[in-house]
Amino acid sequence: MNSTWSKLDDRAVQISRALAMDAVQKIGAGHPGTAMALAPVAYTLFQKILRHDPSDPNWLGRDRFVLSAGHSSLTLYIQLYLSGYGLELSDLKSFRTAGSKTPAHPEFGHTKGVEITTGPLGSGISSAIGMAMAARYEKGLLDSANETELFNHDIWVIVSDGDLQEGISSEASSLAGTQQLGNLNVIYDDNRISIEGDTHLTFTEDVAARYTSYGWRVIDVAMKSDGDVDRFSLETAMRQAQSETNKPTLIRLKSVIAWPAPNARGTAKSHGSALGTEEVAATKLILDLDPEESFAVPADVLAHTRELLSRTAILRAKWNLEFNEWSELNPQKSALLKRLQSRTLPKEWEKAIPVFESGKDIATRAASGKVINAIAEVLPEFWGGSADLADSNNTSIEGGKSFLPLSSTMKDANPYGRIIHFGIREHAMGAILNGISLHGLTRSFGGTFLVFSDYMRGAIRLAALMDIASIFVWTHDSIGLGEDGPTHQPVEQIASLRLIPNFALIRPADANETAVAWREVLTRNKPAGFALSRQSLPVIDRSVYGSVEGVAKGAYIICDTKSAPDVILIATGSEVHIAISAAELLQSHSISARVVSAPSLEWFEEQEDSYKQSVLPATIRARVSIEAGVGSGWHKYVGDAGEIISLEHFGASASASELFTEYGFTAENIVAAALRTISNCK
């Protein structure tokens, strides 16, 4: 049954359209057209459909709303204002201005009610799929027997033509169909307009058929004869989507951009430009509003929309009562939920992390796999997988079962399984991980080869921008992967990933550095990525060399001299043990060499200057950095007199030992470089 709809609701939609025009007109930039056309859509969602509490934007029981068409941020901001999330008219007036709560695109953590940063098209819907997956996994943690509705909620998304043209949305939507995410509802604004004009210039596929083939339910909603959104049919479709529990739903909504502007409607100009004073005035006349007024919101309209707070209070009181009853009946699960909500870890959880014996060789990818399984034993919220490379990435959780819907016939399928099969969809995997992290209760990871981090860079950047704890596990981290050749051998990726602000890349030197790095990543609760070796590496004897606890500081002295060193060798990953061998050779030349292992330059930069000076004293100008990738970024650490041993070209198809020898990653070459830099400093 559809909700009641009043003249005040009609008025609120008209006001919403006017506010969209006014906000863009005032600043002279923005995207008014979509916000105007979708005003009845967003209003219906926030006032009639969504389960949410404006007084508590982080309420556990809320539905999530994702504006994947992030350029139309006013679609969201206006409803946050009308609903009572804390945005006021002054915030709409300061749209797109410095320091405002209403930036050009929605920003997570900046504006109450914004669940995710969107703008890069396709990313929003893809992360929303991660939210829907997280909701199901969390249901398994808290109510696997399905004894309560407390933890059931929906994910609602508004997408544009542009979102569905981006490949990432195809990747993620395909997986959503496989996962039969009945809690996912997507409204597709099919207005046939993008910046360059009619989308049929490039986008003529049958979107409904595509999504049907993915396993989605598709509902078509035609526009009214005058071009406006058919709000009644739309709400009917929304109610149908809510009742669908076995598959995700796509509501294909026909609309006219910038409706009801007399001249701008249906035009590409209205997509991303102010309509102009005359067009705004003419449109307000059509809306039965005063063309001389801007940002005019009648008191009765605002009072009507903010009655939502009273309705929500009743809903929330009922939910709280049920929640308290559930907590009393389920004390262990209640305690788990409290811990998950606080984003804390169990006491002494780190004792589960294995310590690896020296004298053995183990690839850091293999060590990571052992650590993942050890962590999974003590953290039920820990889950993840890879982009079809679980055996290579070592990202499977033993006995964890495959995260797949109840109807799946695949072996070990379980709707609450801990192993996510992302398929060969790296970009979607990254966005899904972001969605899982944003959903709030669990910790997840996703793996692939380091060279394919290029495919997922947009998602990595968004994780860093939102400051969320997405974890990326990249293996086959250098030419050390060998025979697969240059297409699979990362060269520029490590340096490139280090350029992303607020993102930590960790390239551990051995199994124990890998273990401590995992501990740090989970403790820090920040976005991070591992670069792990395919080839086996010696487990460094910590009774002889520096404590592995130095990993927590990003770089530390792993091999030192009795007196002041003549040269400092700085290495990461698989090159650290080679640097140690070089230091031993230098000793035979009566040269004292300090070796610094630098698994994470980002963590090192966080340290006090006194610590950084203790590791890399300015008085020691003779320095050599060793890393099997491009040397960009190392000049900061070796200075004007140092040398960089790097790889400034692509690799080749050959064994790791052959390539390391041919390209100079040998103890002998490091010694030669050390002698040169010492000479340069005299």
Q: How far apart are the first and last CA of the chain?
A: 85
The closest alpha carbon to 40, from 9, 72, 84, belongs to 9
Do 227 and 89 share a structural domain?
Answer: yes
Shared-domain flag, residues 524 and 582:
no
Strand order in the sheet with 567-571: 556-559, 593-597, 567-571, 623-626, 643-645
Which residues are catalytically annotated?
426
Identify which of 167, 169, 250 has the alpha carbon closest to the alpha carbon of residue 216.
250
Q: Are residues 624 and 676 in the same domain?
A: yes
Residue 548 counted as domain residue: no
Residue 1: what pLDDT?
74
User: Whose structure tokens read 């403790």?
Assistant: 523
Q: What is the pLDDT of residue 682?
A: 80
pLDDT, residue 191, reads 97
Domain membership of residue 545 (yes or no) is no
Instruction: List the one residue out of 538, 541, 536, 519 whose CA is nearest residue 528.
Output: 519
Tell whether 333 and 276 lie within a shared domain: no
Q: What are phi and psi of 119, to 5 degrees?
A: 155, -55
d(CA 508, CA 524): 17
Q: pLDDT tens digit string along 485-496? A: 999 999 999 999
- What whole-number percentage of the chain has pLDDT above 90? 100
Q: Given a cut of 80, is residue 283 above it in pLDDT?
A: yes
Q: Residue 63 domain-assigned?
A: yes
Q: What is the band of 579 on the pLDDT scale with cuts at 50, 70, 90?
A: very high
Residue 210 lies in a domain: yes
Beta bridge partners of 643: 624
Q: Same domain, yes or no, for 582 and 638?
A: yes
Same domain, 370 and 334: no
154 shares its domain with 200: yes
Question: What is the total count of domains within the chain?
Answer: 4
Over residues 400-457, the pLDDT tens digits come to 999 999 999 999 999 999 999 999 999 999 999 999 999 999 999 999 999 999 999 9
Q: Sign of dihedral through CA atoms 593, 595, 601, 603? A: negative
pTM for the model stands at 0.98
Task: Judge whether 187 lies within some domain.
Answer: yes
Residue 252: per-residue pLDDT: 98
Range of the domain at 337: 312-341
DSSP state for residue 241 in the 8-state scheme: H
Predicted confidence (pLDDT) per residue in 589-637, tens digit: 999 999 999 999 999 999 999 999 999 999 999 999 999 999 999 999 9
Residues 535-573 pLDDT 10s: 999 999 999 999 999 999 999 999 999 999 999 999 999
Q: Could you tell me the two tokens for 113?
A: 């009610």
Please say which residue of 341, 360, 388 terminates a domain: 341
Same domain for 519 and 442 = yes
Taking 3-state DSSP, the helix, strand and coil percentages for the chain, each rounded to the nearest 5, stand at 45, 15, 40
Q: Average pLDDT over the chain, rounded to whole?
A: 98
Instruction: Tell whether the model's pLDDT for residue 514 goes beyond 90.
Output: yes
Please indicate, yes or no, if residue 621 is contained in any of the structural domains: yes
Q: pLDDT of 467-476, one tens digit each? A: 999 999 999 9
Domain presence at residue 233: yes
Both 332 and 353 in a single domain?
no
* Domain closes at, from 538, 568, 595: 538
